[in-house]
Structure 1
Amino acid sequence: MSDTEPADLAASPVRLTAWVHGHVQGVGFRWATRTKALDFGLVGFASNYPDGRVLVVAEGREDATDALLAWLRSGDTPGRVDTVVDSVTGPRGGYDGFDTR
């Protein structure tokens, strides 16, 4: 294994899908998530669901999606996050910026 391999892996694009449970609607959660995602150089969206969850889909460097996921779980978000159920897959593309739906 070379010294550059971990950095190369961190630069690999991935897709983070995170279902955020808690009191995360009507508190500025999606807008704050958008701000953080853009700060990390990610593209994707955050969308409210009728059952009170927020779906966050973010694509970009793996280290950036890891940072966004850590923020989602940090307790520093607007509202109250009880649980984050996440998965990481290969990117699908097709996003331009970060949208709040």
Structure 2
Amino acid sequence: MPTLHLLIKGKVQGVFYRATAKEIANELGITGWIKNTNEGDVEAVVTGSQDQLQAFATWCRTGPERANVSEVISEEVKEEKFKDFSVIRQRV
């Protein structure tokens, strides 16, 4: 299955981006992880079918209601297998 690395830029921290992304990922049936970066962006690695990944990437361009996404950088990377979709919490 294809795996995507996504870097989401804009006002994406403090707006429930990661929590909402987890809900969307679970609805779509994709696996992977999402986390905040020290630079104020959100980073994700997701695995699923092309259609699932396209739907997730499309959602990422808008995000939750309070987000203001300015850019989504997406690249296909080597396939990774994940048990589920998780939010990685770390100090920023």
State the TM bucket, normalised to the shorter chain: 0.7 to 0.9
Give the ranges of 4+ consecutive aligned residues of structure 1 lying more than 2 Å apart after TM superposition. Answer: 75-78
User: Which protein is bigger by CA-based radius of gyration?
Assistant: 1
Name the TM-score, length of structure 2 as normaliser: 0.88
What SS is found at the alignment partner of 2:83?
coil
The equivalent residue for 2:64 is 77
* CA positional deviation for 1:76: 4.8
1: CA distance, partners of 2:15 / 2:64: 9
1:48 aligns with 2:31: no
What SS is found at the alignment partner of 1:63?
helix
2: CA distance, partners of 1:76 / 1:23: 10
Q: Which amino acid in the other structure matches residue 80 of structure 1?
A: N
Query: Which consecutive residues of structure 1, in runs of 5 or more, have no partner in the other structure?
Result: 1-12
Paired residue total: 87
Q: Which segment drifts farther, 77-86 or 44-53?
A: 77-86
Name the TM-score, length of structure 1 as normaliser: 0.80
What SS is found at the alignment partner of 2:4?
strand
What's the Cα RMSD here?
A: 1.2
Q: Is this contact kept in 1: 2:8–2:71, CA < 8 A?
A: yes
Determine what percentage of the aligned residue pairs are the same residue: 25
* CA positional deviation for 1:90: 3.9
Query: Which consecutive residues of structure 2, in runs of 5 or more, have no partner in the other structure?
Result: none
